[in-house]
Amino acid sequence: MKGFLEDANYSIGLLDEGATLADVIDNCIYEHAHTEKRAFYVGDLGKLVKKNIQWQNVMAPIKPFYPVRCNSTPGVLEILGTLGVGFACSSKSEMALVQDLGISPENIIYTNPCKQASQIKYAAKAGINIMTCDNDVELKKIARNHPNAKLLLHIATEGITADEEVNMKFGTTLKNCRHLMECAKELGVQIVGVKFHVSGSGKELQSYIHAISDARCVFDMAEEFGFKMNMLDIGGGFTGSELQLEEVNHSIRPLLEVYFPKESGVHVIAEPGCYYVSSAFTLAVNIIAKKSAEYDKLLPSGVEQTRTDDEPVFTYYINDGVYGSFASKLSEKLNAIPEVHKKYKEDEPLFASSLWGPSCDELDQVVESCLLPELSVGDWLIFDNMGSGTLGEQSAFNDYQRPLIYYMMSFSDWDEMQDAAIASDTLMKNFFFVPSCIQLGPEDRFSTAA
């Protein structure tokens, strides 16, 4: 069936209603206590189902195209493919992953702004025609290697935050759109729509007004050149918050009704990535080394000092870092907040602590400063909202293996998937039942390497 591999290399724990995410984490840690204590993820695929329902309730008929770079693990791609979500791919490998699910080329967009000629040829051979373009050099390269391509002109948007620096690097101006249309007409390449991207910041909602208005100008311009444009891509920037989604919808709905009414025949799409996967994955890491030192300025800002002069500050080294699951720390502000897995007393003293990855690199700092009870080598820390950024593309560092992934889903979410017309006999190849009193043995392993 479309959306699911015949021979899936993973399985999904179908949880009894009494079982919880915490139960799954406890069981996995119990198993790892007798082995190598490898870092691992627990992926709640039911959250993808919930997010898709939320999207349909708030944003329909805007069709989501999931950016594969956010999280390319097989469970995520197969669930989203089965739910009818399209895919935005930035490389040959991502296109191949999606193709292996049986996804139609019409539901795949090649979005890399700087494409390799060989990968454009791959897209042409695979029948993946829709791709983005924002300059004449890229346009000529596409014309040479994929003459049947259907282009979305990527236009820049007005932004005031650092997040919007993307629009300074990629995206063309209205003035240059005319030049690109002249080139496309001369080269015989089709232009079928417009793409833009607006930051997920609430302050940037005003930017949608400018972006959608500019897109309308480009559509009007296209008519002068005889291009029949029928697609508008409003990009990503969706955080996963239902409130933010409703705010975006409230901002764009009136504009779309005015500039791109239903009778215009324009299909509006979006690229929600973090929206789907961020909250669906929880990461568990193990403490592999520990140091104590004199107290310095590691106390988090705004936290009242409650220590005596001889209290230690602890530095913990964990078996995952910025060269793995925390790679986003190198390029953006990732606010990683650890939770201690083991139980400790409410009145137990907390100490200024920092967390570092296993590489011994000065850049491999996961958490600069936090308050934790004194921990030991072998203890576990839990990080929520870790589903976006590096899953599916990590490499091992210094013999530290990539984290395992344990997939799970509740019965209620399973029922919702059935309501979405997914055949149970096909899906049950990948599912197995997990009762509320979880105690899985090694033979019940339900994991795959990232």
Q: Higher-confidence residue: 22 or 146?
A: 146
Options 2.40.37.10, 2.60.40.1730, 3.40.640.10, 2.40.30.30; CATH of 1-45+277-450: 2.40.37.10
Spatial distance between the Cα atoms of 244 and 238, rounded to a whole number of angstroms: 7
Phi, psi of 360 (to 5 degrees): 65, 20
What pLDDT was estimated at residue 301?
56
What pLDDT was estimated at residue 329?
82
| Cα separations in angstroms, 180 against 72, 129, 190 | 33, 18, 11
Dihedral Cα 58, 60, 65, 66, nearest 10 deg: 30
Catalytic residues: 360
Tokens of 358: 């296993």
What pLDDT was estimated at residue 175?
92
pLDDT band at 215 (very low <50, low <70, confident <90, very high): very high
What pLDDT was estimated at residue 3?
35
Q: Higher-confidence residue: 411 or 224?
A: 224
pLDDT band at 426 (very low <50, low <70, confident <90, very high): very low
Residues 6+ apart with CB under 8 A from 88: 65, 66, 67, 68, 108, 109, 111, 271
For 275-334, what is each residue's pLDDT tens digit? 999 999 999 999 999 999 765 455 555 555 555 555 669 999 999 999 999 988 877 666
- Number of other CB atoms surrounding residue 153 within 10 Å: 28
Q: What percent of the chain has pLDDT over 90?
A: 61
For 115-172, what is each residue's pLDDT tens digit? 999 999 999 999 999 999 999 999 999 999 999 999 999 999 865 444 444 444 789 9
Question: Residues 323, 329, 333, CA angle at the centre, nearest 5°?
Answer: 170
pLDDT band at 11 (very low <50, low <70, confident <90, very high): confident
For 322-342, what is each residue's pLDDT tens digit? 999 998 887 766 678 999 999
pLDDT band at 272 (very low <50, low <70, confident <90, very high): very high
Please provide the average confidence, as pLDDT, over all residues in the chain: 84
Nearest to 270 by CA among 111, 377, 395: 111
- pTM for the whole thing? 0.87
At 160, which amino acid appears?
I
Q: Higher-confidence residue: 312 or 203?
A: 312
Whether the predicted pLDDT of 395 surpasses 60: no
Class of domain 46-276: alpha beta
pLDDT band at 207 (very low <50, low <70, confident <90, very high): confident
CB of 338 within 8 A of CB of 383?
yes
Helix axes 136-145, 117-126, angle to 10 degrees: 50
What pLDDT was estimated at residue 184?
98
Q: What percent of the chain has pLDDT over 70?
A: 80
End-to-end CA distance of the chain: give it in Å, rounded: 24
Where in the chain is CATH 2.40.37.10?
1-45+277-450
What pLDDT was estimated at residue 450?
42
Whether the predicted pLDDT of 420 surpasses 80: no
Mean predicted confidence (pLDDT) in 58-83: 94
Q: Which of 21-30, 201-210, 250-259 has the highest mean pLDDT?
A: 250-259
Whether the predicted pLDDT of 35 surpasses 90: no
Q: Are strands 40-44 and 281-293 parallel, antiparallel or unpaired?
A: antiparallel
Nearest to 131 by CA among 210, 145, 262: 145
Q: Which of 11-15, 94-98, 159-163, 307-311 has the highest mean pLDDT?
A: 94-98
pLDDT band at 110 (very low <50, low <70, confident <90, very high): very high
Where in the chain is CATH 3.20.20.10?
46-276
Region for residue 312 given its phi and psi (left: phi exceeds 0; alpha: psi -120 to 50; beta: otherwise): beta
